[in-house]
Amino acid sequence: MDSLPDAIVQYILSHMNNARDVAICNCVSKRWKDLIPYLKSLYFPRNSFDNHNCRGSSDHIVWKMISQVDCLEDLVVYSPFSSAGLASWLLLAGSTLKHLELRLDNLAEFQACLESPSKLDCISSANNLESLKLWGVLMITSPNWDVFQNLRNLEIVGARLEDPALSTALTACPNLTKLLLLGCEGVTSLSVELPHLEQCKLDFYGAGNSSLSLSCPKIECLEVQGCSWIRVRETECLRNLSISNNAGRVYMVDFGKLAALEYLSIRGVQWCWDAICKMLQWSSEVNHLYMKVEFTGDFDTLQPFPEVDFVDFFNNHPRLQKFDIHGAMFAALCQKNSLKNVDSGFVIPCLEEVVVTVRSPLNAEQKMSTLESLLKYGKNLKAMVVRILQMKSSHSSSDDFFDEICRFRCLNHKIVRIE
């Protein structure tokens, strides 16, 4: 390293960001120490100050390291810190920061609500941010943020939120293109109006009865978990859509025509049948469909799916290339009358891959008939995976079902496999 020009050493060291490594390099030589100001990023892991026995608080040590950097662009702090410490760091580097990632760890701290300024309020000093990631957030009062004009990416992971506080935070980020709210608790009703948003992932923890209204004309990818009522009217650009509710029921969905949709996933314990029908109707041009809904029914009573006509279903989804079908929907396609409208000219033109999950040996004859029909009419079918999941071997018809499915696999071993 001694024989290398300063420019090369500076380039090498500029790719280093771990705070401990930077501190070690600071002690190697005066030459290396003089190159620290050219760093672009600093990362403080969770254990940065474990067994800390030096003079000065951890907040002051972080401040001292930041003060040595001329133009800090990326700052990631997972180690514990105070709001006063954060305020002092951002006073130094806030104008140059582009990426800020903080582990706040104040979910259970009521005192965090009383701090003035709070950790969230301090972030407003970094007014040129392009990306902001926050972990362990308590946001029950509205953060005192100015408008982040340059912010394109906002990620909040693990949070307790109140609706007005979250709305205020989103209003301060009008130019977002990517929004992630993961493991968030306390949201009851959320309205998102972001004209440039392209990717959105919302994961609401709790009873699964949240409501969502989205007005984002450029949205391309949307994932929603934990909502019972969902309205997204501007869907011209929407290509990937995933809706799930692991705790509650999906009562209502309201989408525009999903003409650009390529991938649709609907999951959950219970969906209103009207909501399922609407999603299937709007997504008639979809290429990949994933369905894992266990029951239907409008209220507390869990009901099986009604019969679904095999021919109508595939005629209404002519571009379907991959179909992941679980439990209830497969059973609905396996009813006695599902195949009654098949004529000699019927084909499934684009289907290439089918993944079927079977949990019960009941109605084995109809199930085998449906699997055989998928092979017969899927002229371009290249792979069929039959997954046997949690099937009780003690059931009297299990042996017969396994005999049939194994025979089916042997006859079509180039396409069919059993998992």
What would the pLDDT profile of 5-23 be if each residue is shown by its tens digit?
A: 777 776 776 667 777 777 7
Q: 227-236, 323-332, 346-355 — which is least confidently predicted?
A: 323-332
Token look-up 């000219």 returns 345
3-class SS shares of the chain: helix, strand, coil, % to 5: 25, 30, 45
Q: In what order do the strands lie in the sheet with 189-193?
A: 189-193, 210-215, 227-232, 252-255
Query: Quick one: pLDDT band at residue 26, thresholds 50, 70, 90?
Result: low
Q: Which SS3 state, helix, strand or coil, does residue 54 take?
A: coil
How large is the average pLDDT for residues 346-357? 94
Residue 407, pLDDT above cutoff 80 = yes
Using alpha carbons, select from 143, 133, 91 the residue that is nearest to residue 112. 143
Query: Quick one: pLDDT band at residue 27, thresholds 50, 70, 90?
Result: low
Kindly give the interhelix angle for 398-411 and 364-377, rounded to the nearest 10 degrees: 10
Residue 391, pLDDT above cutoff 80 = no
Give the model's pLDDT for residue 31: 61
Residues 32 and 205: their CA atoms lie apart, in Å, by: 48
Query: Quick one: pLDDT band at residue 153, thresholds 50, 70, 90?
Result: very high
Looking at the DSSP bridge assignments, the partners of residue 180 are 155, 201
Using alpha carbons, select from 274, 275, 263, 266 the residue that is nearest to residue 293. 266
Q: Please indicate whether residue 323 or residue 341 has the higher confidence score (pLDDT).
A: 323
User: What is the chain's mean pLDDT, rounded?
Assistant: 88
Residues 28 and 387: their CA atoms lie apart, in Å, by: 59
Give the model's pLDDT for residue 107: 62
Show the beta-strand stretches assigned E in 168-209. 178-185, 189-193, 199-205
Residues 390 and 406: their CA atoms lie apart, in Å, by: 17
Which stretch of DSSP H or E encloses residue 75? strand 74-77
CB 294 within 8 A of CB 328: yes
Token look-up 């949990």 returns 359
Per the structure block, which two tokens stand in for 79? Answer: 């180690």
Cα dihedral 295, 298, 303, 304 sign: negative
Q: What are phi and psi of 194, to 5 degrees?
A: -130, 110
Greatest C-alpha distance within the chain: 85
How large is the average pLDDT for residues 261-281? 95
Other CB atoms within a 10 A radius of the CB of residue 344 amount to 4
Token look-up 């009780």 returns 392
Query: Quick one: pLDDT band at residue 47, thresholds 50, 70, 90?
Result: confident
Using alpha carbons, select from 64, 57, 27 the residue that is nearest to residue 42. 64
How large is the average pLDDT for residues 69-78? 93
Query: Quick one: pLDDT band at residue 260, thresholds 50, 70, 90?
Result: very high
Give the model's pLDDT for residue 117: 81
Residues 184 and 201: their CA atoms lie apart, in Å, by: 11
> Distance of CA 291 to CAs 267, 316, 324, 382, Å?
6, 16, 6, 20
Residue 112, pLDDT above cutoff 60 = no
CB 23 within 8 A of CB 49: no
Give the model's pLDDT for residue 220: 97
CB 215 within 8 A of CB 236: no
Distance of CA 238 to the CA centre of its chain: 15
Q: Please indicate whether residue 174 or residue 333 has the higher confidence score (pLDDT).
A: 174
Q: What angle do CA 106, 66, 72 make, to 5 degrees?
A: 100
